[in-house]
Amino acid sequence: MKVRGAVSVSLVSAVALAAGVSIAITRPPDRGEGRLHSQQLETRHSPTTGYLTESQCHATPSIRIPCYDPAQIQTAYDEQPLFARGIDGHGQTIAIVDSFGSPTIRHDLAVFDAEFHLSTPPSLRIIQPAGAVPRYNPKTTTMVGWAGETTLDVEWAHAAAPGASILLVETPVSETEGAVGFPQIVKAENYVVHHHLADVVSQSFGANERTFSSARVVESLRSAFVAAAATDVTVIAATGDTGVSDLTTATGRNFSLTRTVTWPASDPLVTAVGGTQISLNASGRRTAPDRVWNDSYDAVANDFVFGTSKPHPDASGGGLSSIFSRPSYQRSVAGVVGDHRGTPDISMSAACTGLVDTYQSFGGPTPPGWYYVCGTSEAAPLFAGIVSLADQEAGHGLGLINPALYAMKQAHDPGIVPVTRGDTTVSFDERGTEHTVTGYNAAASYNLASGVGTVDAARFVPELVAAVASVGTAATYGFLPQTGKT
């Protein structure tokens, strides 16, 4: 996969602001480096200033984009009623898988928690089951990128489920395109599953399906997902940040000129999480309905996230797999997906026109401070947190939840909220020529832009538990498909 920032990979400019604030603008690295499903608007300010509130971000001329804190996101997804009755992820563990990790994650999470009055997680454990991670080098852009990704994943999984333990699973090889880095990830995830170390596994990375040499190569990398499904562990993956295009090394171009999707999000044993744009006021109440995240045409977002006003494929990923056929749980949406596995399954906040706060202090081109991040790398850990709440409610791991999600959609359960606005069409400048790849439109029914929709957690959590009890887990449901089979 290719790193698209959660952290500063390439410093383009810095603009001095009032009150000790400065902005560092980044653009994605050149192809060939890893790309995480997150992007960062790098905002630094003095320790006495603290993080910027949503209204301050929006009012600052050099930002002009709202940014949200944990309380706003918790309110937006209606988590407080669950917290009030003790459903906060207590007794559950979320595994966050990232190459290299971050050398300062314990400290950074502590600062994040103190700033937002979040309880310390019962446990933050770090393991390296696929081999020792190389010593952190702040001059290595790939390591810096993964450190920022790790920060986002850990802080926002914790924000969504403050009572859950966090298991950070670090791997020693950067996942880039094709199979590179995945053998180590598979080994690490198998270790987690076979040792019963987590109930939910969150992945904020992926590779363009077309960069794998064959479907057989992907099949060889699925053992952890099969093991997870058989032991009631839920596996989640982000769908990507480039709409229906994707960075690719197969053609030698920066972005694909035809529709494509990323794996592992496209795997039928994984819950694929796409991105939405949410509009909130200071208390976290919506000021507009959610829409599919697509900042490709937003000059402000492009200018401040990528340092350019040129069109950029900056949108939620999803579409039809070229490797996997339609799984049995998508039979009810065959009219949309045809004979293919369709993604996303569900969507959460990800837009760069609605950033979230993170704190980081690892070395790199920018100093310690508060940074404002976006991308489906935000959506995946958020949803992992929601699933851990449901695991607590059920009293056990729910495993592969996809059959339940589609059953809930068919039953019109109110915990699933349709996302009916937006699309994933992207335009971008490629070697001086503008290209457009036509995507998919949101709809009240299942669609390839937002999946079944998004969630109202207070309703979604008990409904998900009931739906899993009704349709069964993967082991009892008999859904353990192989590549290209249902």
When the pLDDT of each residue in the chain is averaged and rounded to a whole number, the result is: 85
- Helix, strand or coil, per DSSP, at residue 54: helix
- Residue whose token pair is 């979040």: 118
The neighbour count for residue 12, using CB atoms within 10 Å, is 13
- pLDDT tier for residue 166 given thresholds of 50, 70 and 90: very high
Question: If you average pLDDT over residues 22-37, what whole number do you get?
Answer: 37
Q: How far apart are CA 191 and CA 227, in angstroms?
A: 10
The answer, yes or no, to whether residue 19 has pLDDT greater than 60, is no
CATH class of the domain comprising 11-477: alpha beta
Q: Estimate to the nearest angstrom the gap between the alpha carbon of 383 and the chain centroid.
A: 8
- Higher pLDDT among residues 15 and 239, named by residue: 239
Given this model, what pLDDT does residue 51 score?
74
Given this model, what pLDDT does residue 27 score?
32
Torsion of CA 381, 386, 389, 393, to 10 degrees: -140
The enclosing H or E element of 127 equals: strand 124-127
Given this model, what pLDDT does residue 284 score?
94
Give the tokens for residue 177. Answer: 């395109």
The answer, yes or no, to whether residue 270 has pLDDT greater than 50, is yes
Written as one string, the DSSP assignment of 390-434 is: HHHHHTS-----HHHHHHHHHTT-TTEE---S-B--EEEEETTEE
Given this model, what pLDDT does residue 303 score?
64
- pLDDT tier for residue 431 given thresholds of 50, 70 and 90: confident
Q: What percent of the chain has pLDDT over 90?
A: 67
Given this model, what pLDDT does residue 38 score?
59
Give the least confident one: 247-256, 306-315, 340-349, 384-393: 247-256
Given this model, what pLDDT does residue 37 score?
60
Given this model, what pLDDT does residue 65 score?
79
Instruction: Read off φ and ψ for residue 105, nearest 5 degrees.
Output: -65, -35
pLDDT in tens, 89-98: 999 999 999 9
Question: If you average pLDDT over residues 251-262, what whole number do you get?
Answer: 78
Given this model, what pLDDT does residue 408 score?
97
Q: How far apart are CA 434 and CA 214, in angstroms?
A: 30
The answer, yes or no, to whether residue 236 has pLDDT greater than 70, is yes
- Residue whose token pair is 């207070």: 458
Going by their DSSP bridges, the two strands 433-437 and 39-45 should be labelled as unpaired
Q: How far apart are CA 31 and CA 183, in angstroms?
A: 21
User: What angle separates helix 402-410 from helix 457-471, to the nearest 10 degrees?
Assistant: 110
pLDDT in tens, 171-213: 999 887 777 889 999 999 999 999 999 999 999 999 899 888 8
Task: Note whether 332 and 411 are within 8 A (CB).
Answer: no
Q: What is the pTM of this model?
A: 0.90
Given this model, what pLDDT does residue 180 score?
80
At a CB cut-off of 8 Å and minimum separation 6, what does 21 contact? 43, 44, 45, 46, 49, 52, 60, 62
Given this model, what pLDDT does residue 61 score?
62
Task: Note whether 112 and 69 are within 8 A (CB).
Answer: no
Given this model, what pLDDT does residue 3 score?
39
For the chain, what are the domain ranges? Answer: 11-477
The answer, yes or no, to whether residue 62 has pLDDT greater than 70, is no
Give the least confident one: 152-166, 239-253, 396-410: 239-253
CA 151 to each of CA 96, 158, 327, 358, 373: distance values in angstroms, whole numbers, following the listed order: 10, 11, 33, 7, 10
Given this model, what pLDDT does residue 299 score?
63
Given this model, what pLDDT does residue 311 score?
73
Give the least confident one: 24-28, 84-88, 328-332: 24-28
Q: How far apart are CA 169 and CA 311, in angstroms?
A: 36
Question: If you average pLDDT over residues 142-161, what whole number do you get?
Answer: 96
Question: If you average pLDDT over residues 44-59, what whole number do you get?
Answer: 63
